[in-house]
Chain A
Amino acid sequence: MSRLRSLFPPLVPLIGFVILFEFLVRWGIIPSYLVPAPSEVVSAILEIRSELFAAAMGTMTAAVVGLLLSFVVGSSFAICLSLSEFARKAFYPYAVFFQTVPIIAVAPILVIWFGFGQPTVIASAFIVSIFPVIASTLLGLRSTDPALLDLFKLYSARPLQVMWRLRLPYALPEIFSGLRIAAGLSVIGAIVGEFIGGGGLGSLVDTARTMQRIDQVFAAVLISSLIGLVMIALINYLSWWALKNWHHSERGEDV
């Protein structure tokens, strides 16, 4: 019951917004070739549901694979950087490169390297989502409680033990918040990749826009946000599962 009740607040603005737009378009205040009425978006979703579903699956697969790659590569990179002050100072500035790279400009080059199709799309999702993983993992690894570090030293723990049993668990909340940001970005990266590489929702959006079907564009955008939401919900669940037993943020205590 309380779960259902927690769904109520975000639904209020949504329903209000949908009703408002429906009437603005129906009364002709906004022409439907500029902004489609919500009912038109729904009928567009129904009209192209099979294409939409196939496209959404393509985009989601690429985004998930890109995000996993970001997680594996990004967190390993961050662990390496956290081990040495010199490495951090030497390499971190280059990690920032990934955050600032204008993916829309790089995507046509990715096609030349990886060819048309999924590899390009995954590479694009990976590039835009790796930086938050690196930054937040590094922050997490560097903010271990000094008292606990001293304790581990007192018991003459080996560096690997310190990393595995103290630093990494301590960094988990930051790692998960980095992943939440990266999840949304990976969907954006996948769609931009699809503009150039083909397939998925990106392709569908591009086609619909060219055909002046704004209702289909909105339908695809709506589905892409749904993908982002599902991915973030999944990470929230993993975060809850990993932290529920010991971390205050997932024990329902107000922070």
Chain B
Amino acid sequence: MIVRIFVLVALICSIGSTTFATKATKKTIEVTLNWKAEPEFGGFYQAVLGKTLKRSWEELAVVEGGASTPTIQMVAAGKIDFAIANGDEVVISQALGTDVVALFATYQTDPHGIMVREDSGVQNLKELLSKPDFTIALQRGIGSTLFVQKKFAPVKAKIVPFTGGITNYLADKKFAQQCFVTSEPLAAKKQGKPARAFLIADEGYNPYSVVLVTRKQVIARDPELVKAVVAAVRQGWMDYLAKPEAANKHMAGLNKSMDLETFNKIAIGQKNLIETADTKKSGLGTMTAARWKILVDQLFEMKLIKKKPDPTALFQNL
């Protein structure tokens, strides 16, 4: 009996203390990722670690996602306010009638690529796609896949679903797969099977990638918040580009599938895809209507959208 009373009292105290604690803590502004903690999100984690959000009553948090987390649809549906998506997803979403809008484009050059083993002897994408005895794992339905399939039609290589990892690649000389040119080739090299990686952007399809998105409705509701979030993210990326070690250590703790050394290598390797001559003038993460227009036209041509959204309405440089 005494024990029970003790447990009860302890329970009541703990409930009391948690409610007290919630009152005292700041409001959390969440940014939902479309993948696990990896260097491609370094600046977002750095923004959290460095507390770069200049609103004392709020704090930034990053929520990890997975390969099939439909971040763009969750934002469109109002389930979340800030998320990471790919540029082409923003166009498709607006073409369907949503008010999703891009705020900050991490990669000015899309790191999506296709990698094949060096010992396969394949020299370029065209050659790879024309080889009937090769298998290529590509994510279905995404712009880059459709673009490659269209540009190099008729594709003779066997296209199979991309399921993540590099297991098949390591096992089979004739197995190619999609990759982030900054990331998987490093892992492949480490496992003793160095890769030749082809950037899809070099072939002409270059959407903004790892883009921070929200809804226009969120901007209308609290424009100051959205501005502050973008500024915090920009600061986070600037800090991460200059000094990625702390955020890398934090992310390596969250994502055990990659070691710290790889995190640091990728952080250096991706720098020139994020920081360009343009962003040095206009600011990190800024976008142009001309770039969005090219993407809109390409998606329309690939029949991924039925009507063309206004390129200037797709993004806001805050």
Q: Which residues of A contact B (CB under 8 A)?
A: 31-34, 108, 111-112, 116-117, 195-198, 203, 206-212
A-B contact pairs, 13 of them (CB 8 A): A31-B97, A33-B96, A34-B76, A111-B163, A112-B167, A112-B168, A116-B158, A116-B160, A116-B161, A209-B141, A210-B142, A211-B141, A212-B96
Q: A116-B135, A212-B72, A212-B73 are in contact. Are A33 and B93 (CB under 8 A)?
A: yes
Q: CA separation between A203 and B76, bound complex, in Å?
A: 24
Known: A197-B161, A207-B140, A210-B141. 19 other contacts (CB 8 A): A31-B98, A33-B73, A33-B93, A33-B97, A116-B160, A116-B161, A198-B160, A206-B140, A206-B141, A206-B161, A207-B141, A209-B68, A210-B139, A210-B140, A212-B73, A212-B89, A212-B92, A212-B93, A212-B96
Q: CA separation between A210 and B142, bound complex, in Å?
A: 6
Minimal beta-carbon separation of A10 from chain B (angstroms)? 31
**Which 6 pairs of residues, A with B, have the shortest CB-CB distance?**
A210-B141, A207-B141, A207-B140, A116-B160, A33-B96, A211-B141
Is B163 touching A108 in the complex (CB atoms < 8 A)? yes
Mark contacts of B10-21 with chain A using CB atoms, 8 A cut-off: 1 yes-contact digit, 0 otherwise.
000000000000
Question: Size class of B's contact patch?
Answer: 20 to 34
Residues on B with beta carbons closer than 8 Å to the beta carbon of A32: 96-97
Q: CA separation between A112 and B68, bound complex, in Å?
A: 20
Q: Which residues of B contact A (CB under 8 A)?
A: 68, 70, 72-73, 76-77, 89, 92-93, 96-98, 135, 139-142, 158, 160-161, 163, 167-168, 304
Q: A212-B72, A212-B93, A212-B96 are in contact. Are A195 and B141 (CB under 8 A)?
A: no
Q: CA separation between A32 and B306, bound complex, in Å?
A: 15
Smallest Cβ-Cβ distance to A33: which chain B residue: B96
Residues on B with beta carbons closer than 8 Å to the beta carbon of A31: 97-98
- Selected from A111, A197, A203, the residue in CB contact (under 8 A) with B140 is A203
Is A33 touching B98 in the complex (CB atoms < 8 A)? yes
Q: CA separation between A22 and B194, bound complex, in Å?
A: 54
Residues on A with beta carbons closer than 8 Å to the beta carbon of B89: 212
Residues on B with beta carbons closer than 8 Å to the beta carbon of A210: 139-142
Is B70 touching A209 in the complex (CB atoms < 8 A)? yes
Most buried by A among B77, B142, B160, B161: B161
Is A33 touching B76 in the complex (CB atoms < 8 A)? yes
Residues on A with beta carbons closer than 8 Å to the beta carbon of B167: 112
Q: CA separation between A195 and B141, bound complex, in Å?
A: 12
Residues on A with beta carbons closer than 8 Å to the beta carbon of B142: 210
